[in-house]
Amino acid sequence: MEILLPFLTGILFSVSLYFILHRHLFKLILGIILFGLATNLFLFVVGGMTRGGIAIIAQGNDLPSEPYADPVPQALLLTAIVIGFGIQAFAIVLIKRVYQTFKSNNLDDLNNNEKI
Amino acid sequence: MPANQLLVIPLLLPLLGAIISVFLWNSIRWQAVVVAVVQLAFISVSVIMLQQVLQAGILTTQVGNWPAPFGISLVTDVFSSLLLLTTSIAGLGVFMFSHTALDQSRKHFGYYPLFLLLQMGVSGVCLTGDIFNLYVWFEVLLICCFALIALGSRKSQLEGALKYLTINFVASGLLLSGIGVVYSLYGALNLAELARIVRSDHPNLDLLLVPGIFFLTGFGIKAAIFPLFFWLPASYHAPPISISAFVAGIISKIGMYTMLRLYTLIFSIELEAAQPLLLLLSGLTMAIGVVGAAAQVDFRKILSFHVISQIGYMLMGLAIYTPLAVAGSIFFIIHNMLVKTNLFLVSGVVAHRHHSFSLLKLGGVYLRHPTLSFLFLISALSLAGLPPLSGFWGKLMLAKGGFEAGHYLLVGTSLCVSLVTLFSMTKIWNEVFWKPRPRQLKQQPVVTGKSYIMYLSIIYLLVFILLLGVSAEPVIQMAKLSADQLFNSEIYIDAVLNPERAN
Amino acid sequence: MRTLIFATAIRMLTPVFLAFSIYILFRGHNHPGGGFIGGLIGSIAFVFHILGLGTRQTAKSYFSITFYKYDRKPHHGTIRHALRLLRKNLDRRKQKEKPKSIWNYYLLRLRPTYLMAVGLLVAVASGMVGLVLGKPFMTAYWVEGKIPVIGSLGTPLMFDAGVYLLVLGMVLKMVFTISKD
């Protein structure tokens, strides 16, 4: 199971980069969302995966009972998800505005719209 | 309030200002009052903080009262205080300009709150002592940047914002991955703790290159270093001048600040291996920037390409990596923040008076507005680095540092690039101010507003630029002091991790 | 999605969603939950309401309030005037009578941006408590004793409440922006 996750991260990264490089606007949204997911998964996998309990110290003990999962990557992940959520929300609104303004979902139509 | 608590004020001031100005959503006039008060308070707090740091050394506070390697530290040394002071000075100038030049509809859509939140992000990046919080503050800063660039939804703005957003999102992903790698290797996120681990004999020390590459690429995109700069000229010229002045003047240097901080504190050991690469990148960044600028015929685009070229100079100090060269970089960052902001504002006034940014349509400005031409000339010559203006001292320190370290090729490149910068500035001078005015049809005004406030903001910034040039000595001393602090990271580690000093 | 069944059901379910989201907010101290998740669940309530009844209806029923007022007539005493105002604003509100000519009304709109600002303010205020008491910013303070469902009260809970409002405001801002055409 654990050996699968790095491969999954790699696949997600490559798929998301393919989508980001694609000229269709909707695929750009998909690419941005998938890239965020891939980063989060990478953070999770690289932080070390432990099959264990929560790192909350029971009453009367000095240390949490082994084995426990490291809470720091989870906290980082949570923050990263929140930030990614904000950026993705903004990206979706922006891309919708682009679509409305340019009346096109092709990124190539955006070039050189304003002559100097 | 003890001196250490001063550290949260640069974060709280803009945040509270932004909240208040959201509550005053319908009254732009009161929003402007709030922003003005915040700017003045911000400048005074930065001055007090710099004073404190010069007297008492590095200041730290632990947010949430958790001890250092576990909690969130805010740290300030001379470097970050200097940078905060510069951004606050430039912020007031940009605010004065935008107060009159920015159109009402953009102000109605929340320009002032976004501007303040952007400033909060800048102070967050400067003050944080934690690598993950660095990422968080960068994102705060970037979201505000996206929103500001897209504010008003003109076609070119949307296009610029889309490019900016996509490339910077990828860069942030790389940074986040780098942070994950750092944590998995060393089990710490606090910068001082990481610096301590890196200087001990940790078993994973050989792998420091991996996060180093992640950060180099991530910050390389954000700071627009050589192969990764294409998004910058595509997006910085798009928004109105008040926004692009702040973004181009301040934000692009923040990436450089972080690189200087991280690469002296954490990746300094790995730097020896990466030095040839950094030297190459800095030379190419400089050269490509000016070459790109030479091909442009838009006032703002020329300036945007020069942003890239000057990023190369800042990288040069890091690549040479001697105290003198790093001090030169620091001086150069401070000088460039003020000068670049000012040049953008000048281009705004030219467009206000002559309705265009294009070098082909402009001309004869000198005949009609000699004062403006004079203001431009001082800023431009300062950018090009003519003595005794401020750009000269930064370049002198960099060149001297380069000669002492024996990187003659890079120093030669930088001097050549200086010459081309001068050429580029004279090109603007010739085309915009000197040549006869081309006959043209009547055009819509591009920038509107009261001109005396615009002039006031430019003169205000110019006073600081001239001060920086004529009496450069105190700032050079402070830059050398901050470079010393960067090189002697034991001071930093001790200030943050020693429980007696960190309250 | 605008079927009658969905619309009717969602009108009743939205308060339930909201109550649940607030429960999630409070239990976040020691269990899964907290401000961010609570705010997302709370915003889902409004998103469903928008799907079922449309943006305008949602804005009308949850994010705006009408205050009625009229100039006091000379033969009406101050107390009578106040009572009539109160009655009109409290129990006559539901009757869909058109305001007669003497009645004016204010429309008070709650923008999602204000919600975000209030959230930020609450979160900052929770940090300021420590600063005022001479400790570093965001030092946690707890009230002694526990309350049955809510748990213990303290500045971290206040911070979470701020995050709740911020997330709610952000999602609503986004949904309102997207659904406006």
CATH code of the domain containing A75: 1.10.287
Query: What is the predicted pLDDT for the residue at B234?
Result: 83
* Nearest CB to B19; choose among C121, C128, C130: C121
Mutate to test the interface with A, among C178, C179, C181 (most CBs of A within 10 A): C178
Place of tokens 């007022």: C69
pLDDT at C16 over 80: yes
Question: Is the sign of the CA dihedral C159, C162, C168, C173 positive or negative?
Answer: negative
Q: Which has more confidence, C99 or B89?
A: B89
Taking CB atoms and an 8 Å cutoff, what residues of chain B touch A97?
Answer: 150, 153, 158
| Higher-pLDDT residue of C91, B81 | B81
C-alpha B415/C-alpha A23 separation (Å) is 41
> Is A3 among the domain residues?
no
Contact C138 B19 (CB under 8 A): no
Alpha helices in B187-270 (DSSP H): 191-198, 209-223, 231-235, 241-246, 252-265
Question: How many structural domains compose chain A?
Answer: 1
User: Which residue of B147, B158, B176 is in closest CB contact with A43?
Assistant: B176
Interface probe for B, chosen from C138, C139, C163 (most Cβ of B below 10 Å), is: C138
Reading the block at residue B339, the tokens are 């000068």
Neighbours of C84 (CB within 10 A): 16
Residues of B within 8 A of A82 (CB-CB) are none
pLDDT of C82 > 70? The answer is: yes
- Please tell me the least confidently modeled range out of A68-72, B25-29, B330-334: A68-72
CA atoms B490, B496, B498, B502: torsion sign: positive
Query: Is residue B96's pLDDT more than 70?
Result: yes
Q: What does the pLDDT read at residue A51?
A: 77
* Contacting residues of C for B61, CB less than 8 Å apart: 136-137
Is the pLDDT assigned to residue C39 strictly greater than 90? Answer: yes
Domain ranges of chain B: 3-497
With a cut of 60, say whether residue B254 has pLDDT above it. yes
What 3 state SS string does B100-145 have?
Answer: HHCCHHHHHCCHHHHHHHHHHHHHHHHHECEHHHHHHHHHHHHHHH
Percent of chain B residues topping a pLDDT of 90: 40
**Within an 8 Å CB–CB cutoff, is residue A19 touching chain B?**
no
* Predicted pLDDT at B40: 95
Sequence-separated contacts (24+) of B276-281 with Cβ below 8 Å: B278/B315, B278/B318, B278/B319, B279/B319, B279/B320, B279/B407, B279/B410, B281/B220, B281/B225, B281/B226, B281/B315, B281/B319
CA angle A48, A52, A55 (to 5 degrees): 85
Asked if C136's CB is within 8 angstroms of B64's CB, the reply is yes
Nearest to C172 by CA among C39, C65, C2: C39
Q: Does residue A112 belong to any structural domain of this protein? A: no
Is 90 exceeded by the pLDDT of residue B90?
Answer: yes
Q: Cβ atoms within 10 A of the Cβ of A93, count?
A: 17
Between residues C66 and B346, the one the model is more confident about: B346
State the pLDDT at residue B237.
83
Chain B segment 12-31 residues within 8 A of C by beta carbon are 12, 15-16, 18-19, 22-23, 25
Handedness of CA B417, B420, B422, B424 (dihedral sign): negative
Name the residue with higher pLDDT: B92 or B103: B92
The answer to whether residues C158 and C30 touch, using CB atoms and an 8 Å cutoff, is no
Cα gap B493→B291, rounded to integer Å: 42
Residues 6+ apart with CB under 8 A from B269: B198, B199, B205, B208
CB within 8 Å: A93 and C174: yes
B228 interfaces chain C, CB cutoff of 8 Å: no
pLDDT at B91 (0 to 100): 93
pLDDT for the residue numbered B100: 87
pLDDT at residue B31, rounded to an integer: 92
User: Taking 50 as the threshold, does the pLDDT of residue B503 lie above it?
Assistant: no
Question: Is any Cβ of chain B less than 8 angstroms from the Cβ of A73?
Answer: yes
- Which pLDDT score, from 0 to 100, does residue C138 have? 81
B8: chain C residues, CB-CB within 8 Å: 127, 131, 137
Q: What is the pLDDT of residue B173?
A: 93
Residue A9 has a pLDDT of 93
| B neighbour chains, 3+ CB pairs within 8 Å | A, C
Does position B82 have pLDDT exceeding 60, yes or no?
yes
Please tell me the predicted confidence (pLDDT) of residue B502: 47
3-state helix, strand, coil in chain B (%, to 5): 80, 5, 20
Q: Mind listing the pLDDT tens digit for each residue in B297-325? A: 888 888 899 999 999 999 999 898 889 99
The mean predicted confidence, pLDDT, of chain A is 85
Model pLDDT for residues A2-51, shown as the tens digit of each residue: 789 999 999 999 999 999 998 888 999 999 999 999 999 999 888 877 77
Inform me whether the pLDDT recorded for A115 exceeds 70. Answer: no
Instruction: State how far the Cα of B340 lies from the Cα of B352, in Å rounded to an integer.
Output: 18
Tens-digit pLDDT profile for residues B116-142: 999 999 999 999 989 999 999 999 999
DSSP H helical ranges for B24-110: 28-56, 78-101, 104-108
β-bridge partners, C108: C65
Query: In terms of CA atoms, which chain A residue is nearest residue C179?
Result: A93
- If one compares C60 and B112, the residue with the highest pLDDT of the two is B112
pLDDT in tens, B388-419: 888 889 899 999 999 998 889 999 999 999 99
Of C90, C162, C151, nearest to C120 by C-alpha is C162
Report the pLDDT averaged over residues B430-457: 77
* Domain interval for residue A55: 10-107
Return the pLDDT at C103: 67
Q: Is the pLDDT of residue B176 over 80?
A: yes
Of B1, B4, B63, the CB nearest to C138: B63
Interface probe with C: pick from A87, A90, A93, most Cβ of C within 10 Å: A93
- Residue B178 confidence (pLDDT): 93
Better pLDDT: C104 or C167: C167
The token pair that represents B80 in the structure block = 């970050």
> Is pLDDT of B68 > 80?
no
What residues of chain B lie within 8 A of the CB of A69, using their CB? Answer: none
| B105 confidence band (pLDDT: 50, 70, 90) | confident
Q: Residue B17: its pLDDT value, please?
A: 94
Within 17-76 of C, beta carbons closer than 8 Å to A belong to 36
User: Taking CB atoms and an 8 Å cut-off, how many pairs form between chains A and C?
Assistant: 12
Q: What percent of chain B has a predicted confidence (pLDDT) above 70?
A: 97
pLDDT tops 90 at residue B327: yes
Q: Which whole number is the average pLDDT over A83-111?
A: 86
